[in-house]
Amino acid sequence: MSHQAPNVRSGDRDRFLATAAGAGLEGAAVAAATAVSPAGPEPTRRPHAVVDVYASFIAEDPHVQAA
């Protein structure tokens, strides 16, 4: 793949990178929602579930970042 591929495909590198990051962050959001659901209504369990998912997400996909 050429270093120009993002520019040719999407017309602009920033838009290409935003699209790629958005796809990764969408996966993280789904994982967080899935983890929070079984945590129940207890206020302390839900944030811990999200933090656990976020830590796993960063460890598994460190290249995906919000711009």
Residue 18: partners with Cβ closer than 8 Å, 6 or more residues away: 67
Whole-angstrom Cα distance, residue 28 to residue 23? 9
Task: Please state the rounded mean pLDDT for residues 19-29.
Answer: 75
Work out the burial of residue 2: count CB atoms within 10 Å of its CB; fewer than 13 is exposed, 13-18 middle, 19 or more buried.
Answer: exposed
pLDDT score, position 6: 55
Check pLDDT > 50 for residue 20.
yes
pLDDT band at 1 (very low <50, low <70, confident <90, very high): low
pLDDT in tens, 25-59: 788 788 888 888 888 888 888 888 888 988 888 88
Check pLDDT > 70 for residue 12.
yes
Check pLDDT > 50 for residue 67.
no
